[in-house]
Amino acid sequence: MGSQNKFDGEWPYDKPVFVLSRTVTELPEKLAGKVVYPVQGEIGDVLADIHRAGYHNLYIDGGTAAKQCLAADLIDEMVITTVPLLLGGGTPLFGSLPSPLQFVHISTERYFDYMVKNTWYRQRDQAAHA
């Protein structure tokens, strides 16, 4: 397959994008002003900085960031799209959690006869948050 630049093509986002990465050392010049980078540190500190900048509803994408947010119980809605490509290995989607998290299934959508998108909302104990 060779090396591919994951930032090729038209930029699809109309909202600020924060890139959390331990491996990306610089972004292409064409992304200047479109991406806030680098964003590094513990997920709680990173999110506190992003919240202080005025961003509160975030879309988290990527295995490591999603796992850290789940482990810290910071996910309110989960959208999982599955594509039936069996790799036979790889990194677990969720990893281990300090305690079970309850989610309620809200919807399922089917795309192109092979992709399925499921939406789940975090079910929280209201008494614990009152």
Q: pLDDT tens across 59-107, in order? A: 888 778 888 889 889 899 999 888 877 777 777 777 788 888 999 999 9
Rounded Cα distance between 75 and 101, Å, is 10
Q: pLDDT tens across 5-38, in order? A: 455 667 778 888 888 877 777 777 887 788 876 6
pTM of the predicted structure, to 2 decimals: 0.69
Rounded Cα distance between 26 and 46, Å, is 18
